[in-house]
Amino acid sequence: MKNNIFDNKNKNIKENQGSKLSEIDLKIKSFFDFLRFEKHLSNNTLSSYQRDLLIFKKYLLQKNIINFNGLNHEEILLFLEELFKSYCETSISRLLSSLRTFYRFLIIENEANKNPFAEIKNPKKPKKLIEILDEGEVKSFLDRLPHSTKFEMRDKAMFELMYSSGLRVSELVNLKLNDIDYEENLIRCIGKGNKERIVPIGETAIHYLKAYIKAARFNMQSKKGLKSTEFVFLNKNGVKITRQGFWKVLKKYEKEFNLNKNIYPHLFRHSYATHMLERGADLRVVQELLGHSSISTTEIYTNINKKFIKDSYFKHHPRNKKV
């Protein structure tokens, strides 16, 4: 789809406006310094802010708006109209949230008089049910994973651990050797916003993790003649596997197993949370295990399986049967 905001229509902007635009760049840089050093946001979150502000900056450039305070309500409506030509509601909501945060920063720095996006409501996001694998599908996938070669042992350990502990891909690929407590069957992981949490590992996952580290990982690293690395899961070059590398591994097995549904990394995390709740885990416990700052985020998993909710009602309500 053509992205109108990124059209290069600004070749004739006056030179004196260029200096003003460089001031805009400085304000954006100051904002990112604030997010990085004072808010301690993760690199992924910073990248999202960067994409959003680049869209906004290019729109200002296109419309010859050279002052943050010069953006009136009509201009914002035109900006939104332009956004809806190229972006979905979710992306626009995130962008508007980024701009509200940006303007709050400008007001604190006395670089803006008001927040023009404060009164702009985010577009309503279409309700989308979270996809999961049922317990049988997860078991079938994990049981079919081969684990003879060193890379197969790595893959088996990665997927078993991801489902066993509900890890995000970023948490999995950044796991280090000293993050594993074999005596207590616990791992330490760093989640969104660099928040640390401790999560348990099931016996099956710890078995395959130990087998991989003992029999495969050392060979994967040492044969490349590289310096030792502290990350658990390595690629063919003997260095940390990337998120993209993990995605390729997953898609390889999806193709080999001829699965009937699209398999993506977060599907295992969704399935983990849902299965925990279905088996009676407390919502607050699952919230802690997932590393959610708000329980409302965890509550989305209670809306997935209506049959489970119905069965739980009839099982636990004291007066659901006739007297």
Known active-site residue 292: yes
List the catalytic residue out of 94, 192, 197, 207.
192
Known active-site residue 316: no
Residue 142 is which amino acid?
L
Place of tokens 């010859």: 64
Known active-site residue 154: no
Known active-site residue 301: yes
List the catalytic residue out of 266, 284, 310, 313.
266
List the catalytic residue out of 269, 270, 272, 275.
269
List the catalytic residue out of 49, 208, 212, 301.
301
Known active-site residue 192: yes
Known active-site residue 269: yes
Place of tokens 């670089």: 111
Burial annotation 111-146 (CB, 10 A radius, 16+ → b, else e): bbeebbbeebeebeeeeeeeebbeeebbeebbeebe
The CA distance from 2 to 5, in Å, is 9
Q: Which two tokens stand for residue 155?
A: 């893959």
List residues with catalytic annotation.
168, 192, 266, 269, 292, 301
